[in-house]
Amino acid sequence: MSTLKEFLYKVQKKVDKENRQEIDDMTSILEGRKNVLNLKVLVCVDVSGSISREQFCAFMRQIDKIRGLSQVKVLETDTKVVACYDYFKVNKSQVMRLGGGGGTDFVECFEVAKKAKPDVLVFATDGDDCGNCKNPGIPTAWVTTKHGHAPYDWGTVCTQVDK
């Protein structure tokens, strides 16, 4: 199982190759970028009733690890999106809350993703999704709770949080 950072670095290399950029010296490429990874990352954080405050905080700590690497937009979601913000701009004290509290359905997150066209999707969840979602064709990472699982058979499980 790779970490979320490792997953993002792999996606960046693929994006760079697709854009036909020379990657002979990764250091020189990265030095010229404002963000270390030049990716648009859409993170969907499960805030349903099955997610505890401790699990939510553990998810946010994982997102903190990629905060300065790329542009990160966060959607907090249960059966619908209950909050949306640019994580690289927001004050952390405004984020450490747990909204939502209903069931879990990622359908609206995928609708937002179609419009936003991110380079990467990251889902932080326990895996209890009652929606019917198809592979969006976007590299997808699953950050799950320790006893959680990826709710679909596509994407990559990157990290399991301890809580």
Stretch among 18-22, 117-121, 137-141 having the lowest mean pLDDT: 18-22
Model pLDDT, residue 92: 59
Of 51, 66, 64, nearest in space to 11 by CA: 66
**Block residue for tokens 């966060």:** 74
Q: What is the pLDDT of residue 3?
A: 87
For the chain, how many residues are written?
A: 163
Predicted TM-score of the model (pTM): 0.81
Domain ranges for the chain, please list them: 38-161
Averaged pLDDT for residues 34-43:
78
Question: Does the pLDDT value for residue 22 go beyond 60?
Answer: no
Minimum mean pLDDT range among 25-29, 70-74, 98-102, 103-107 = 25-29
What's residue 138's pLDDT? 93
Q: Which helix (H) or strand (E) holds 156?
A: strand 156-161
Superfamily of domain 38-161: von Willebrand factor, type A domain (3.40.50.410)
Determine the pLDDT at residue 24: 46
Distant-in-sequence, close-in-space partners of 16: CB < 8 Å, separation ≥ 6: 23, 29
Q: How many helices (H) and strands (E) does the chain have?
A: 5, 6
